Amino acid sequence: MGASELLQQGIQTVALRGILAVERVQTGVTFFPMGERFYADPYTAYRRLREKDPIHRSRLINGWVMTRYADVTAVLRDARYSSDERKQVGYEKMRKRAVKQGIMDDDDSYGGSMLRVDPPDHTRLRALVSRAFTPRTVEALRGRVQAIVDEHLDAVAGQGGMDVIAALAYPLPVIIIAELLGIPTEDHARFKHWSDEMVRGMGVSTAEDGKRSRRAQRELRAYFEGVASARRADPRDDLLSALVATEDGGDRLSADELYDTCALLLVAGHETTTNLIGNGLLALLRHPDQLDVLRREPCRAEQAVEELLRYDSPVQATTRMVPEDMEFDGHRFKTGQQLALILAAANRDPAQFAEPDRLDITREDARHAAFGHGIHFCLGAPLARLEAPIAFRAMIERFPDMRLDDTLAPQWKDNLILRGLQQLPVRF
């Protein structure tokens, strides 16, 4: 059960009107991350929270919502706070509810991917996977990334337009992460389907979304078990073979850890980059002066990506659990309370960034929190930083007159955690 699933369980089961009314009276603002207006523009709501009540007591999540850059990064860097959701007050009750709704099985073990565990388990898991994301390993993928980008842009070049998400932003990172793991080409479509279904359980989702997410998890696990068995018999030069070898070695990966690691790599390895390309291109098209800068100076692509990560973060939020009663900036945190760390709000904090609501790809102070901070800093950041600049440069060079398709509005997914577009139609 993920952090966002716990959040949506709370949203489904509390008396919303009473809670929101109390919070609004007490602070003049409330945390209610739902609705079409919010998904289209969460930053207005985050600005109100940051200005009026930056460490906001939220009964909705049985914890606190933090929106200032200094606070968010301080918690992320503080090893005392836990990523393990089992340490949240009410976890077992929420788990039983999920079992009753068919979202989980009663005998499900905790999904202990490196994202949601603490040291020493986190240290061990991260060390096992980090070899796939060293700067040298990632740089070796440059030619392959460029080839995939060129192939997919060639396919739409004569059509006068494209849906950027379907044409490039989705397939590029899916192909790369699948090839890293050693997934055969004929299975890429199934791979993508499972990832799409799994993220349905994130954010503010329904019980049906949760069931579909769980079904995809079962199917993906069965698939990985089959591939892992094949790799034990016939190892190859891919990450899955390396993980299987580690599982059989002295520093053993359990079957659950092997699956959870592979599932994390699948979802995190492509959802975030898909969103980065989609969100980033939309921001550039809505700010033609910045798009012109990049057209004139394509060498700024890497710098532009950092600003685009700050401006419209693909990962909007994460959580930590309070390990014991403690004080933070005059607020009393209680053991087991959840801290919702709004990375997207931190990235628009005027105390950290000059004119934070302005897109400026020449910005020198784009030290954003989009990849997190501390021991859980995004392992795939080097790969995203390789893929996105190549994609932006290629699209701008290939289609210099690219513009938004006015007949089809961009559509946002209804997901609190992962901010991304369902489609991004452009003309050229």
pLDDT at 38: 92
pTM value is: 0.89
Query: Which segments of 78-236 does DSSP mark as H helices, in order?
Result: 91-100, 121-130, 135-139, 142-156, 164, 171-181, 188-198, 207-233
Give residue 11's pLDDT: 45
Say if residue 120 is preceded by a cis peptide, omega within 30 of 0.
yes
Q: Specify the pLDDT at position 217.
A: 86
Tokens of residue 370, six digits: 């989009």
Architecture in CATH of 3-427:
Orthogonal Bundle (1.10)
CA atoms of 200 and 422, how far apart (whole Å): 13
Q: How far is CA 278 from CA 25, 206, 289, 313, 421, in A?
A: 38, 25, 18, 11, 6
- The pLDDT of residue 8 is 45
Three-class secondary structure of residue 298 per DSSP: helix
Per-residue model confidence (pLDDT) at position 204: 53
| Model confidence band, residue 7 (pLDDT cutoffs 50, 70, 90) | very low
Q: How far is CA 120 from CA 125, 126, 127, in A?
A: 9, 10, 11
Measured in degrees and rounded to the nearest 5, phi and psi for residue 65 equal -110, 125
Q: Position of tokens 């532009």?
A: 304
pLDDT > 70 in the chain, percent: 88
Rounded to whole angstroms, what are the CA distances from 8 to 83, 201, 210, 343?
18, 9, 10, 19
The structure tokens listed for 380 are: 């795939």
Percentage of residues of the chain with pLDDT beyond 90: 55
Mean pLDDT of the chain: 87
Segment 90-142, tens digit of pLDDT: 888 877 777 777 667 766 665 567 888 999 889 888 887 886 677 788 899 99
Higher-scoring residue by pLDDT: 349, 111: 349
pLDDT at 241 over 80: yes
19, 22, 40, 43, 307 from 37: Cα distances, Å: 21, 22, 5, 11, 24
- Above 50 in pLDDT, residue 1? no
Q: Is the confidence at residue 4, as pLDDT, over 50?
A: no
Range scoring the smallest mean pLDDT among 3-7, 95-99, 222-226, 271-275:
3-7
Higher model confidence: residue 314 or residue 208? 314
- Mean pLDDT throughout 293-301? 97
- Give the confidence band of 270 by pLDDT, cuts at 50, 70, 90: confident
Give the pLDDT score at 14. Answer: 47
* Average pLDDT of span 5-19: 48
Q: Rounded to whole angstroms, how far apart are CA atoms 211 and 132?
A: 32
217 within 8 A of 263, measured Cβ to Cβ = yes
Which tens digits make up the pLDDT trace of 276-295? 999 999 999 999 999 999 99
Answer for the pair 277, 385: CB distance below 8 angstroms, yes or no.
no
**pLDDT the model gives residue 77:** 97
Residue-wise pLDDT tens digits, 56-90: 999 888 899 999 999 999 999 999 999 998 898 88
* Amino acid letter, 48: R
Which residues lie closer than 8 Å to 214 by C-beta, 6 or more apart? 102, 103, 104, 105, 201
